[in-house]
Structures are given as C-alpha cells and as structure tokens.
C-alpha cells in the first residue's frame, strides 16, 4: 500500500469500527424490549437496524478495510450488506421464478457443518459434487462455518438471499475449480460480479488484480478472467440450486446443467495468500 494513503485508510478503518460499535450498542439497548424468540424488530435474529447515513458510513468504512485486507471477511460482509440492496432484489426475484429456487426460499436451508453429513460425503465416489466439495474444504483448510450471519439487511427475505449467497460461495469454488489463493478468489469474484450484480463483487473483481504479480495478471486477463465473465453471464442462477440435494450428482453433469464450462487453467490449492 502506498505510504501517503496509509494514515487516511487507518483513520477511516478506526472510524468504521467505532460506528459498528455504536450500532451494536443501539441494538443491545433496544433488544431487551423488542427481541422475541424468532425475530428482532420484526425481521430476523441478529438484525441491526441502521439509518441511511449509518449504512453509507458502514459501506465506506468496510470498503476501505476490505481494500487494505481482502481477507477481512467481516468487512467484506458488511460491504455486501450495505451496498447490495438492488442486486439482492434481482437475485430474490430470479429465485422466485425458478421452481428449485422458490423451494429454497420456502425451506431456507443452511450450509453449516451441523447440516452436512461429512462421513457420507467422504464415501461418495471421486467426481461427485459432494466428494469434490469436501476435497475443496480439506485442501484449502476452510469451513462453511466461517460465513458470518447477515445483520444490516432491512428485509428478512433479502437477508436470507445474502446469507445463501455467502454459504454457496465455497460451492462456487468447487463448481469453478478455483482454490482460495488470490488468483482463484479474483476469478470467482469476476464470475460472481457477472452472475449476481453485487457491488461488493464488482469492487473485488476490479481491485483484486492489483494484488497479483505479472504472471498471474497475464493468466487472469488472457484466460481465467474472460472465462469467468462469460460463464457468470450465461450460467443459470447459482442461488437457485438446492446443492444439499445434489451431493451425489457428478460434478461435470452439474456444470453442464448450470451451463458452466470447466476452467481453462488448473490452479493449485497451495499458498493461500500468494499474490
């Protein structure tokens, strides 16, 4: 990071953290009288209501923090929630208009370790979607439980859409054959930007390449990037797939069903933070 912008970025990040703290305090003060077993403020557990000014400040602060460190998943999450309202509406409507997507909106499945039968997934044959997803988790040392719960979306159904997007992110890595190193993450962000229209994804797609070295930039711009954008635009809505009922399906068959081509380059899962 350039020296002349370090102090402003640090100041903005600190201000953003102070704002989040104030919002949490507001939630705690009001929750004693308004919280119920099933919802907060008539929306969902954990919801933190914000004013337009607060949402704008949260968006700016989280964007700065995410720019400084793309692996700050908490800041990336806040950025997505505070800037993605229109995109979430579009994704929700696409899910409603898809029979499988409508079922997901109705049943509200969650992808957590507590909902996954890892033993059964490990027994599936190589090449099956469930076995390859489990292999992705093991090779990249990640867990579905790392996805934060939505807090700042002021609509219960849209909050679930955002939660579903977060929880299928690792499934997209599996579908696209991308590891969690920086090049793999940027390629997935290019796909997601084209597929979802979320500003957070577009920002990650635009700024992610700045953290790549020359050889990885060449790979991104000449092969992985065009492939990710093309497949993101033409693929079926990836939130409308009930993945929990597809573990036994062959990965290549699922890709064909979603109109996703195999990756043009095979990336290693090693060196997660390499640039």
Alpha helices in the chain (DSSP H): 6-34, 52-68, 73-83, 85-96, 99-107, 118-123, 129-140, 156-176, 182-196, 199-207, 214-219, 225-234, 251-258
Q: Residue 63 pLDDT more than 90? A: no
Q: At what angle do helices 129-140 and 251-258 cross, to 10 degrees?
A: 100
- The reply to whether 68 falls in a domain is yes
Residues facing residue 128 across a β-bridge: 250
Instruction: Answer whether residue 241 is part of any domain.
Output: yes
| Closest residue by Cα to residue 85 from 152, 24, 147 | 152
The confidence score (pLDDT) of residue 19 equals 53
Q: Decide if 95 is inside a domain.
A: yes
What integer pLDDT is reported at residue 75 of this predicted model? 87
Q: What is the dihedral of CA 264, 269, 271, 275, to 10 degrees?
A: 30
| pLDDT of 30 | 44
- Residue 208 belongs to what domain range? 52-258
Higher per-residue pLDDT: 12 or 93: 93
Tens digits of residue pLDDT in 255-267: 999 999 999 988 8
Q: Is residue 35 part of a domain?
A: no
Residue 28 lies in a domain: no
Identify whether 19 is part of a domain.
no
- Domain membership of residue 226 (yes or no) is yes
The stretch 224-235 carries a mean pLDDT of 97
Q: Is the pLDDT of residue 24 over 50?
A: no
Q: Are 55 and 152 in contact (CB under 8 A)?
A: yes
> What was the pLDDT predicted at 34?
35
Per-residue pLDDT tens over the stretch 110-168:
999 999 999 999 999 999 999 999 999 999 999 999 888 999 999 999 999 999 999 99
Q: Identify whether 42 is part of a domain.
A: no
Is this prediction's pTM over 0.85?
no
CA 189 vs CA 27, 156, 220, 223, 229: distances in Å = 32, 25, 12, 15, 9
The pLDDT assigned to 270 comes to 58
Provide the annotated binding site: 169-170, 173, 185
How many other C-beta atoms can be found within 10 angstroms of the C-beta atom of residue 250? 14
- Quick one: which of 47, 158, 164, 154 has its CA closest to 108? 164
Residues placed in the known binding site for Zn(2+): 169-170, 173, 185
Enumerate the β-bridge partners of residue 250.
128
Instruction: Name the 3-class secondary structure at 17.
Output: helix
Into how many domains does the chain fold? 1
């Amino acid at each position: 990071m350039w020296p002349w912008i370090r102090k402003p970025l640090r100041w903005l990040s600190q201000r953003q953290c102070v704002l989040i703290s104030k919002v949490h305090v507001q939630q705690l003060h009001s929750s004693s009288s308004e919280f119920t077993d099933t919802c907060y403020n008539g929306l969902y557990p954990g919801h933190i209501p914000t004013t337009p000014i607060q949402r704008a400040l949260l968006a700016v602060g989280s964007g700065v923090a995410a720019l400084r460190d793309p692996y700050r998943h908490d800041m990336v999450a806040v950025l997505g929630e505070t800037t993605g309202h229109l995109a979430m509406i579009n994704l929700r409507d696409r899910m409603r208009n898809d029979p499988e997507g409508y079922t997901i909106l109705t049943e509200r499945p969650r992808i957590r370790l507590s909902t996954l039968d890892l033993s059964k997934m490990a027994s599936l044959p190589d090449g099956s979607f469930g076995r390859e997803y489990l292999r992705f988790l093991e090779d990249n040392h990640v867990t579905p439980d790392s996805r934060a719960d939505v807090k700042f979306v002021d609509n219960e159904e849209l909050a679930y859409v955002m939660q579903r997007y977060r929880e299928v992110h690792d499934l997209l890595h599996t579908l696209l054959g991308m590891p969690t190193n920086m090049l793999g993450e940027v390629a997935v962000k290019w796909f997601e930007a084209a597929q979802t229209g979320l500003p957070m994804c577009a920002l990650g797609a635009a700024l992610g390449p700045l953290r790549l070295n020359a050889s990885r930039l060449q790979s991104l711009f000449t092969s992985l990037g065009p492939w990710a954008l093309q497949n993101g635009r033409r693929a079926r809505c990836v939130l409308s797939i009930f993945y929990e009922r597809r573990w036994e399906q062959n990965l290549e068959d699922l890709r064909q069903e979603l109109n996703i081509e195999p990756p043009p380059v095979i990336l290693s899962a090693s060196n997660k933070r390499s640039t």
